[in-house]
Amino acid sequence: MTLPDPGPAPAMTAGDDGGGHHLGFRTTCGREIRVGHLTLGGGHHPAQRVSLGISAASATENGIWAGFTAGEARRLAAALLLQAAACDPGTRGTE
């Protein structure tokens, strides 16, 4: 399966953790999206995860957070790209 070209990336800002391990942007509905890299545990083989945080839309709601393995993060990215392509003009068979 070939994924469509996602086009230009949204403006991303490096996190304030000093290492630039988080990237984020604000959606048009005002939510903050943060994507980062986590290293869990110590020793010789710490677990590596991709983190995703989505802020609450209002002060009365809670945000959400999830951690993904590299493979899970790739599957999520592929699913998002396919759905985004379906939203692009001319891809729904109506033109």
In a domain, 6, yes or no: no
Q: Which residue type occupies 88? A: D
In a domain, 30, yes or no: yes
| Phi, psi (deg, nearest 5) at residue 86 | -65, -25
Residues 31 and 57: their CA atoms lie apart, in Å, by 6
Domain span including residue 50: 18-87
Q: Residue 70 has what pLDDT?
A: 95
In a domain, 11, yes or no: no
Q: How would DSSP label each residue in 37-74?
A: EEEES-SSS-EEEEEEEE--SSTTS--EEEEE-HHHHH
> Is the pLDDT reported for residue 95 higher than 90?
no
- Residue 45 banded pLDDT, cuts 50, 70, 90: confident
Give the tens place of pLDDT for each residue, 5-44. 444 444 444 444 434 478 999 999 889 999 999 888 878 8
> Other C-beta atoms within 10 Å of 66: how many?
13
Kindly report the average pLDDT of the chain as a whole number.
Answer: 79
